[in-house]
Amino acid sequence: MNNSAAIPAPVLDVVDLHVAYGKVEALHGANLRVGAGQIVTVIGPNGAGKSTMLNAIAGTMNNNANNGSVRGKVSLLDQDLDGVAIETRVARGMCLVPETRELFASMTVQDNLLLGSYRRYKAGDRAYADQMAVVYDLFPRLQERRKQQAGSLSGGERQMLALGRALMAKPQLLMLDEPSLGLAPLIVKEIFHIIVRLKQTGVAILLVEQNARAALQAADYAYVLETGDMVLQGPAAELAHDPKVIDTYLGLAKKAG
């Protein structure tokens, strides 16, 4: 299944991406595209290389044996990111929400959100605070808890805050690393409902997720990554009916509950 060429106007284009730790290659020539206003998901088991791929795209690896050496082409809005620093990637419209969420626990919800717009403020964008209304519309619970410390929030609320803080930067590309990790099933359903709503804001979303069922329901297009190789790709609705995907991922999810 290979319909990636049908994706129009790619926001993100990854070609032949390799990541190695010393002599061990963790990602073998990955290719993927995320189109404007699309949700594209990468599913796969633990240790498949999903987070490694996201970190390589985001530029968080230092190209040495300990932190991972990266080769291949990553383009954002047709601009090659080879050698481009993390800060510049963010300024150009790329934002990663890591699975650890990395919130400032002793700061209020509102101050955490304002930090997300710091680069816009620094660049002289005086409308940086206007995005707060958009975030609060998506996450009413954050508005209710805006004066609380981030450390007092539940797991689901922390994930909402991590998403909201990323949106304060008005990204062109939002990359989500395991947003359902450690959350109760009802909260997972709510988070994925919000992710689908995010698409309506026009942001392109690259979603890395172990919960294959939820990811395929939310996404437009999907890739399956196994032990560093992209083994399947296609429209998410088609992959959800692929016998290999059902047997390996959806079948297990069903048995688990």
pLDDT digits (tens, 9 = 90+) for 182-199: 899 999 999 999 999 988
Average confidence (pLDDT) over 142-146: 95
Summarize the confidence of residues 197-210 as an average pLDDT: 90
Q: For residue 74, list its beta bridge partners.
A: 14
Q: What is the mean pLDDT of residues 129-147?
A: 91
Closest CA to 230 of 14, 10, 38, 69: 14
| Angle subtended at Cα 207 by Cα 113 and Cα 179, rounded to the nearest 5 degrees | 55
Residue 42 has pLDDT above 70, yes or no: yes
Report the pLDDT value the prediction gives residue 11, as an integer from 0 to 100: 96
User: Which pLDDT band holds residue 87 (cuts at 50, 70, 90)?
Assistant: confident
pLDDT at 200 over 90: no
C-alpha to C-alpha distance for 244 and 242, rounded to whole angstroms: 6
Share of the chain above pLDDT 90, in %: 66
Q: According to the model, what pLDDT value does residue 64 have?
A: 53
How many C-beta neighbours within 10 Å does residue 109 have? Answer: 27
Reply yes or no on whether the pLDDT at 140 is more than 80: yes
Average pLDDT (170-193) is 92
Residue 66's pLDDT is 58
pLDDT reading at 253 higher than 70: no
Residue 119: exposed, middle, or buried by beta-carbon count in 10 A (0-12, 13-18, 19+)? Answer: middle
- Fold of domain 4-93+171-256: Rossmann fold (3.40.50)
Q: What are phi and psi of 26, to 5 degrees?
A: -95, -25
Rounded to two decimals, the pTM is 0.87
Q: Is the pLDDT of residue 4 over 60?
A: no
Domain boundaries, the chain: 4-93+171-256, 102-165
Instruction: Please give the full DSSP string across 144-184, using - where no structure is assigned.
Output: HTTTSBGGGS-HHHHHHHHHHHHHTT--SEEEEE-TTTT--
Higher pLDDT pick, 248 / 130? 248
